[in-house]
């Protein structure tokens, strides 16, 4: 490669060797700094996790979240970040064995997520659940009774965000650039190695800026159903499919308004596939709760579902 005008090649002895040595020294220095930085970050996360565990034990023993514990939990949330906070909470849910303890733990987690419910819900929908369903997370989260509790937690978080569209974080009364903060949270989860990208066939990934909190929640809601649809293409029964059934069953237990808000965007083809897989888990009453009978398309989907359920469900012979 020719040298720029006005410059001459360095002809001093051993220049190439000195140059290579200097490059290697700089590379080693950079690697040592990176390793030290990573070690410090791991130590900070370890100390933060230990503080969270200690605080959780206090809350668990008292069976309630006091004002002091809420403030301390909010401090840990601010320090560790949303993804870390939700991961720690779900880890506590998986650590429970008995159904009563799992139910109690789920309620406590739901109350703690109100420190910043929209951000925690987004992290749950676009980071935690896709990781678990992709097999990269803790698969025991999908087993009974933790799987049902996780589905119930997801449903209640979504319903609360849809009902209270402008809910803000507990940490500050008014936070500037709230939409930018939440969008950055979503973009961090939707990186090129994102689990949702692997599982979802949708191209509508939450990466654009300037979106409102309500729009981000809506997009995450759509992406969750697209993720469910991708999972259900596998005809075998597995814990992932069981989680989808549990999610729908938890939606049906909500009030009519909340159930309609959560189920209105569910693809009809997804429900038809679930009916074919396990028709015994559905009834005409369930289908009436799922589909919107106030719209023409909803009535058509309901009729199709009822006919499918009637044709698949075995009839009981009449004894004369």
The confidence score (pLDDT) of residue 56 equals 94
The confidence score (pLDDT) of residue 225 equals 94
105 pLDDT band, cuts 50/70/90, is: very high
In a domain, 10, yes or no: no
- Whole-number Å distance between alpha carbons of 117 and 261: 18
In a domain, 6, yes or no: no
The tens digit of pLDDT for each residue in 219-278 reads 999 999 999 998 887 767 788 889 999 999 999 999 988 998 899 899 999 999 999 988
User: Helices 82-94 and 146-163 meet at what angle, rounded to 10?
Assistant: 140
Same domain flag for 250 and 273: no
Same domain flag for 82 and 223: yes
What is the enclosing helix (H) or strand (E) of 221?
helix 213-231
* DSSP code string of 150-186: HHHHHHHHHHHHHHSTT---SS-SS-TTHHHHHHHHH
Can you read off the two tokens belonging to residue 318? 């009449």
Can you read off the two tokens belonging to residue 202? 């949708």
Can you read off the two tokens belonging to residue 199? 């599982």
Q: Which residue has the higher pLDDT, 32 or 124?
A: 124
In a domain, 253, yes or no: yes
In a domain, 319, yes or no: no
181 pLDDT band, cuts 50/70/90, is: confident
In a domain, 136, yes or no: yes
Same domain flag for 257 and 275: no
- Whole-number Å distance between alpha carbons of 271 and 266: 8
- Whole-number Å distance between alpha carbons of 127 and 226: 15
138 pLDDT band, cuts 50/70/90, is: low
Domain boundary among 247, 262, 277: 262
The tens digit of pLDDT for each residue in 9-27 reads 555 666 777 778 888 888 8
pLDDT for residue 115 is more than 90:
yes
* DSSP code string of 181-207: HHHHHHHHHSSTT-HHHHH---S--S-
Residue range of the domain that includes 177: 43-262
Between CA 8 and CA 16, with CA 12 as vertex, the angle to 5 degrees is 90
Query: In 10 A of CB 189, how many CB atoms?
Result: 23
5 pLDDT band, cuts 50/70/90, is: low
The tens digit of pLDDT for each residue in 151-161 reads 999 999 999 99
The confidence score (pLDDT) of residue 201 equals 40
In a domain, 247, yes or no: yes
Same domain flag for 273 and 248: no
- Whole-number Å distance between alpha carbons of 183 and 213: 8
Q: What mean pLDDT is predicted for residues 119-135?
A: 90
- Whole-number Å distance between alpha carbons of 101 and 306: 38
Same domain flag for 218 and 296: no
60 pLDDT band, cuts 50/70/90, is: very high
Same domain flag for 141 and 211: yes
Q: Is the torsion defined by CA of 165, 175, 64, 91 positive or negative? A: positive
- Whole-number Å distance between alpha carbons of 41 and 84: 13
pTM for the predicted model, two decimal places: 0.77
In a domain, 205, yes or no: yes
The tens digit of pLDDT for each residue in 282-319 reads 999 999 999 988 889 989 999 999 999 988 876 544 44
Residue 64, φ and ψ in degrees, nearest 5: -160, 155
The confidence score (pLDDT) of residue 82 equals 92
SS3 content of the chain, % helix, strand, coil (to 5): 70, 0, 30
Q: Comparing C-alpha atoms, which of 200, 216, 196 is closest to residue 208?
A: 216
35 pLDDT band, cuts 50/70/90, is: confident
pLDDT for residue 139 is more than 80:
no
* DSSP code string of 85-144: HHHHHHHHHHT--SHHHHHHHHHHHHHHGGGSHHHHHHHIIIIIHHHHHTTSS-GGGGST
Can you read off the two tokens belonging to residue 192? 């090129």
- Whole-number Å distance between alpha carbons of 151 and 153: 5
């Amino acid at each position: 490669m020719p040298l720029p005008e006005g410059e001459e090649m360095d002809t001093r002895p051993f220049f190439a060797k000195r140059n290579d040595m200097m490059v290697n020294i700089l590379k080693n220095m950079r690697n040592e700094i990176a390793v030290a930085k990573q070690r410090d970050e791991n130590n900070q996360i370890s100390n933060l996790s230990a503080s969270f565990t200690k605080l959780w034990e206090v809350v668990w023993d008292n069976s309630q979240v006091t004002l002091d514990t809420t403030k301390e939990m909010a401090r840990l949330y601010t320090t560790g970040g949303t993804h870390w906070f939700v991961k720690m909470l779900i880890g506590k849910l998986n650590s429970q064995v008995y159904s009563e303890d799992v139910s109690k733990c789920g309620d406590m987690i739901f109350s703690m997520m109100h420190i910043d419910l929209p951000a925690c819900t987004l992290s749950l929908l676009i980071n935690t659940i896709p990781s678990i369903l992709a097999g990269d997370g803790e698969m025991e989260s999908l087993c009974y009774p933790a799987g049902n509790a996780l589905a119930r937690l997801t449903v209640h978080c979504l319903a609360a965000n849809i009902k209270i569209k402008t809910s803000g974080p507990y940490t500050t009364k008014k936070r500037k650039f709230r939409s930018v903060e939440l969008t950055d949270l979503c973009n961090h989860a939707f990186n090129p190695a994102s689990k949702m990208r692997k599982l979802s066939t949708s191209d509508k990934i939450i990466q654009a800026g300037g979106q409102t909190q309500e729009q981000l929640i809506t997009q995450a809601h759509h992406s969750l159903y697209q993720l469910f649809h991708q999972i259900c293409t596998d005809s075998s029964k597995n814990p992932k499919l069981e989680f989808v059934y549990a999610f729908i069953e938890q939606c049906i237990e909500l009030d009519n308004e909340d159930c309609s808000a959560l189920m209105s965007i569910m693809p009809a083809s997804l429900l038809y596939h679930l009916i074919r897989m396990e028709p015994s888990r559905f009834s005409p009453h369930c289908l009436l709760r799922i589909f919107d009978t106030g719209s023409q398309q909803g009535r058509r989907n309901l009729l199709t579902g009822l006919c499918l359920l009637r044709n698949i469900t075995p009839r009981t012979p009449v004894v004369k």
